[in-house]
Amino acid sequence: MTVICNKCGTIDDFRTEKKSNNLVAYCNGCGFYIKNLPYSEPALYFGKYNGTKIKDFTTPEMMNYLHWALNNCKLTGNVRKAIVEHLGIKEV
């Protein structure tokens, strides 16, 4: 993915900062906000396992939590997709 600063036109020269649930890109050239970037690996953003990457859910208790979250929480697209893939189930 190419990241271009809309203010000075710099290409792929940026730093990132974690703000809330976002990974934010700022231009190294002018310091201007560029955009929110997707996290490289989806993680839960709430509850008991807040900040835990989906791939790190390995114990039976953690897997049960993923099943619960899938059925009871409103999850964003990439987090929901990562959980479904990690659990190896087909979603209807």
For the chain, the domain total comes to: 2
Residue 49 has pLDDT above 70, yes or no: yes
Do residues 86 and 47 both lie within one domain? Answer: yes
Whether 34 and 66 share a structural domain = no
45 and 87 both lie in a single domain: yes
pLDDT of residue 46: 87
Measure the CA–CA gap between 61 and 23, rounded to whole angstroms.
29
Q: What is the DSSP letter of 49?
A: T
Instruction: Name residues whose C-beta falls within 8 Å of residue 55's C-beta, 6 or more positions apart in sequence.
Output: 41, 82, 86
Q: What is the pLDDT of residue 76?
A: 76
Q: How far apart are CA 70 and CA 28, in angstroms?
A: 39
Q: Which domain holds residue 31?
A: 1-38
What percent of the chain is predicted at pLDDT more than 90? 62
47 and 82 fall within a common domain:
yes
Q: Does one domain contain both 70 and 86?
A: yes
Q: Are residues 50 and 90 in the same domain?
A: yes
Residue 92 has pLDDT above 60, yes or no: no
| pLDDT (tens digit per residue) in 55-87 | 999 999 999 999 999 999 998 788 899 999 999
